[in-house]
Amino acid sequence: MAPYLLGQGVSVFVDGSYSCPTLYIATNDTTAPVINPSFLSWKQQDQLIMSALLSSLSIEILHLVVDCDTSHSIWQTLEKSFASPSPSRIMQLHGSFQDLHQGDDSVSVYLQRAKVLFDELAAANRPLSLEDFNLYVSQGLRSDFKNLVTSLSTRADPLSYSDLHSHLLTHEYLNKSSLQSTIGSPMTTPLLPTPSNPTASALLAQRSGFGGSSSHSYRGRGRHRGG
């Protein structure tokens, strides 16, 4: 995410170096305060950045930033949460890997859950090796992936995340296609989940000052500075 923000030229929002302008422009007429256009522009851009940040987070992490109202506060919260996890948190993450099971999840959802754990360990400077990651993922797959796991385990080098994802998706697709031709009824469930995060969207709408009754949101607030 950091390279993306740098490439878009908006990293100054998340690192706090470009703070929110004042809500109102100082005027001689105290009975009719004028909203600062720079504030509106800043707020709009910050909401777009918040949307990108929230959409990149998993459901397991979203609860950490539920009270954040700026992209900078989201970034700070994530940094504090993952910079120095306690030893008990590290043990919990390893335990979660050992208990990882696909269940009724699709390949994409299952691998996403595994990747969240992998990334948390990496962020805590306790990275899991690719061999161990693939092992945990393979152990948690459903039994219908057994033949594929056996085939992949004979490879000399461990598969990258993207290659593992590709192999599992292909196997999932072929199994569903085989089942479809057997039962002769149309598939009603798409292979890949829609890349959206409704929980993140709800959080953003909650924090946004431009939706719903936003026309009243700036009244009676006095002067205001963003965090």
Q: Give the predicted TM-score (pTM) of the model.
A: 0.49
* CA-based torsion, 53, 1, 163, 111: positive or negative: negative
Residues 6+ apart with CB under 8 A from 167: 148, 152, 159
| Residue 6 C-alpha from the chain's centroid | 18
Half-sphere exposure of residue 69, counting CA atoms within 13 Å on the CB side? Answer: 9
**Encoded amino acid at 74, one letter:** I
Closest CA to 122 of 92, 83, 160: 83
List the domain boundaries for the chain. 2-83+197-216, 100-183
What is the full per-residue pLDDT of the chain (227 aa) written as tens digits?
A: 777 788 888 889 999 999 999 998 877 766 677 889 999 999 999 999 999 898 888 777 888 898 899 999 999 988 887 766 678 778 888 898 989 999 999 999 999 999 988 988 887 778 899 999 999 999 999 999 999 998 888 888 888 999 999 999 999 988 886 545 544 444 444 443 444 455 555 566 555 554 444 434 444 444 444 44
- Alpha-carbon distance of 62 to 55, in angstroms, equals 9
- Alpha-carbon distance of 66 to 148, in angstroms, equals 40
- Alpha-carbon distance of 81 to 120, in angstroms, equals 10
- Alpha-carbon distance of 205 to 69, in angstroms, equals 11
- Alpha-carbon distance of 87 to 117, in angstroms, equals 15
**Encoded amino acid at 145, one letter:** F
CB-count exposure of residue 155 (10 Å: 0-12, 13-18, 19+): exposed
